[in-house]
Amino acid sequence: MKKIYLLLFGFFSLSSVAQTVITYQGQTENLSGGSFQMAAPTHEAFDVPFVITNNTGELQRWRVTRNRISVPTGWSDGLCWGHITDPFGGTCYSSGQMPGNPWTTPAGAGANFDLLDGEQALMKATIDPENWTSGIAHYRYYISSNGTSYIDSVDLVIDFTASLAPVKEPISVSITPNPASDYLMIALNGVENVNVKMVDALGSTIFKEQLNGSKKINTSDMRSGVYFLVFDMPNNKAITRKVVIRH
């Protein structure tokens, strides 16, 4: 992946003060006001996460505006936006919930969150090169407090080539028994070396490890209740399954 820094022109006004730092999650290079370019890792939907750091010196309740600058016909996109500590990844919006262009995350209860000075938010774009339509997609994401006065932005450029090979076989997850009492048997088909974690209804992680093929999990010491197994698939969208422990 390489980063291309561009000057932003047009009728949108961005503050010249470094009030935010935008990075690709897991990296340190500041992308504020610039562009992040990548090749599509798969022909199916994939996530592109950015971390936004609040350097304003005060509490913020930011919103995100997504602008499709140039997108191949048939492509769709979603967005998740929330505090980086949110175990559920914030509030997520599907392509059907993001009508119009540009589109801004809504204000009000359930959508806004407090971000103290020095804290970070996670903005995760989900890109789906639908119908195997190759080409280059260009998105821009603005940060603001009101959806109109933009203080920062980052461009996302996706290069999708028609030569991307499809998945050889469908990915399937089998979890039995469910509800479970003494154990859970997990079996995966169509994928290897998957990171799996189990969280309870409050978002606390019960365990996290790498899974290859199948695994038996002892549940006899777990409290009765609802849990979630989250499978982080290589080059694919994560899969979540609900399980019930009942003693």
Q: How does pLDDT run across 192-205, given as a tens digit for each residue?
A: 778 888 998 888 88
Tokens (6 digits) for 173? 């997850």
Q: Which domains are delineated in the chain? A: 2-160 (2.60.40.10), 172-245 (2.60.40.3080)
> What's the pLDDT score for residue 1?
45
> What's the pLDDT score for residue 165?
46
By the 8 A CB rule, do 39 and 161 touch? yes
Which residues of the chain are modeled with pLDDT < 70?
1-18, 109-110, 131, 162-170, 234-236
> What's the pLDDT score for residue 210?
85
Strands (DSSP E) contained in the chain are 2-4, 20-24, 35-39, 46-54, 63-70, 76-83, 91-93, 103-104, 120-128, 135-144, 150-160, 172-176, 183-189, 194-200, 205-211, 214-218, 225-232, 239-245
Rounded CA-CA distance 29/23 in Å is: 6
> What's the pLDDT score for residue 11?
36
> What's the pLDDT score for residue 2?
41
